[in-house]
């Protein structure tokens, strides 16, 4: 169990305003979007955000993968470790949307450490729900893509880096700021902090595999869904397989340049692979080079809301549980529970505080 004075978490990623709206296939076809796809908007697709905002069923919440996880983690931790146990580092525009976003995130007790871009707008992400289990995500990340590397040297961020026991970064951020993320990874080594990385999306893995491989030696945990993990394995080995045990093992056994002992003293790396309603696969790579892969069942639930943010909630639940002294098994079960609760709401929202 870690010390109670070492329970802060720092998340870094795209600071976005999320739009969730139910729509039909015609809208996706008009903007050449695929069901369950995940992409960044091209210029000609930007009008879709205004269309979604005008829909009567549209809702807006703070968004961005890591920022979602930060809000969920803080909501869980507030009762145990108090407000502002979680930091979020990102970049927003110096605009009305950015102010709305910051106010909303701070209302969830997260300590925002935003860089304010003078000209670019605050980013927006849209979740288009076409059925109970199908959703398409598209983002216009705007100012999120323009956080300078030297922002990590600012006094408030340096203080947060020193106080946090784990840094979590989404790979979406790698697509536009690979040098900055690598700088964070090197800081994690220098300060003996845990570095957790999510693979985020297939297009991220495909287009930025080399940059992700530069980060892997520093990672203490890797999060992915089954599709992302398969894509990563294919780029790693040149082979396509469906065996999640082999895939999880291969990712877990990638070379490391550091050993962090805050959560576990005998494990080099953990790999967490979610598979929707199927069991979660977790690979533990031990210091003696042994690998143990285990499945964790996912209870069947009726999706009342949508599955947007379920993966982010899973991460938030796991990390919050780890920093309060729980083991990996308990933390995975807790993460599954939190993700299930989020599926009962629209967007990445956790209502029930009875954890």
DSSP 134-180: -EEEEEEEEGGG---GGGGGSHHHHHHHHHEEEEEEEGGGGGT-HHH
> Is there a domain that residue 37 lies in?
no
What is the DSSP pairing of strand 59-63 with strand 38-40?
unpaired
* Sole residue written with tokens 């695929």: 34
Q: What pLDDT score does 172 carry?
A: 94
> Is there a domain that residue 129 lies in?
no
Q: What pLDDT score does 75 carry?
A: 92
Dig out the tokens for 340 from the structure.
Answer: 């299930």
Q: What pLDDT score does 125 carry?
A: 86
Q: List residues bridging with 10 in a β-sheet.
A: 87, 167
Do residues 143 and 37 touch, judged by C-beta distance below 8 A?
no
Residues 6+ apart with CB under 8 A from 149: 177, 179, 180, 183
CA separation for the pair 312, 296 (Å, rounded): 17
Q: What pLDDT score does 347 carry?
A: 62
Q: Hey, what's the torsion of the CAs at 209, 210, 213, 218, to 10 degrees?
A: -120
> Is there a domain that residue 314 lies in?
yes
CA separation for the pair 318, 321 (Å, rounded): 5
Which residue numbers in the chain have pLDDT < 50? 1-5
> Is there a domain that residue 40 lies in?
no
> Is there a domain that residue 134 lies in?
no
Q: What is the pLDDT of residues 271-304, one digit of tens each?
A: 999 998 899 999 999 999 999 999 999 888 666 5
Do residues 228 and 199 touch, judged by C-beta distance below 8 A?
yes
> Is there a domain that residue 165 lies in?
yes
Residues 6+ apart with CB under 8 A from 82: none
Dig out the tokens for 266 from the structure.
Answer: 């005998």
Number of domains in the chain: 1
Strand order of the β-sheet with 122-129 is 38-40, 135-142, 122-129, 16-22, 59-63
> Is there a domain that residue 235 lies in?
yes
> Is there a domain that residue 353 lies in?
no
Residues annotated as catalytic are 312
Question: At 89, which CATH number?
Answer: 3.40.1190.20
CA separation for the pair 108, 74 (Å, rounded): 7
Find the domain containing 249 and state its range.
4-15+63-121+140-342
């Amino acid at each position: 169990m870690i010390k109670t004075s070492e329970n802060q978490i720092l998340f870094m990623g795209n600071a976005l305003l999320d739009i969730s709206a139910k729509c039909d296939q015609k809208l996706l076809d008009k903007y050449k979007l695929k069901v369950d796809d995940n992409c960044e908007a091209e210029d000609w697709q930007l009008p879709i955000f205004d269309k979604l905002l005008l829909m009567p069923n549209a809702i807006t919440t703070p968004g961005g993968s890591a920022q979602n996880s930060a809000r969920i983690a803080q909501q869980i931790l507030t009762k145990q470790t108090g407000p502002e146990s979680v930091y979020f580092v990102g970049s927003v525009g110096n605009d009305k949307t950015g102010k709305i976003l910051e106010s909303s995130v701070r209302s969830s007790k997260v300590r925002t450490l935003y860089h304010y871009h003078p000209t670019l707008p605050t980013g927006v992400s849209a979740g288009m729900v076409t059925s109970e289990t199908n959703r398409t995500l598209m983002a216009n990340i705007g100012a999120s893509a323009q956080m300078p590397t030297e922002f990590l040297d600012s006094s408030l961020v340096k203080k947060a880096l020193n106080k946090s026991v784990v840094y979590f970064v989404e790979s979406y951020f790698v697509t536009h700021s690979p040098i900055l993320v690598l700088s964070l990874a090197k800081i994690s080594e220098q300060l003996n902090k845990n570095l957790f990385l999510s693979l985020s999306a297939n297009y991220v893995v495909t287009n930025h595999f080399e940059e992700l491989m530069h980060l892997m030696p520093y990672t203490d945990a890797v999060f992915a869904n089954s599709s992302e993990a398969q894509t990563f394995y294919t780029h790693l080995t040149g082979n396509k397989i469906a065996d999640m045990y082999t895939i999880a093992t291969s990712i877990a056994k990638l070379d490391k340049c550091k050993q962090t002992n805050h959560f576990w003293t005998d494990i080099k790396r953990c790999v967490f692979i979610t598979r929707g309603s199927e069991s979660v696969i977790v690979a533990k790579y031990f210091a003696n080079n042994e690998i143990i892969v285990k499945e964790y069942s996912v209870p069947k639930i009726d999706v009342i809301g949508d599955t947007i943010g379920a993966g982010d909630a899973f991460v938030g639940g796991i990390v919050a549980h780890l920093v309060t002294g729980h083991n990996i098994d308990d933390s995975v079960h807790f993460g599954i529970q939190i993700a299930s609760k989020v599926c009962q709401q629209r967007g990445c929202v956790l209502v029930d505080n009875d954890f």
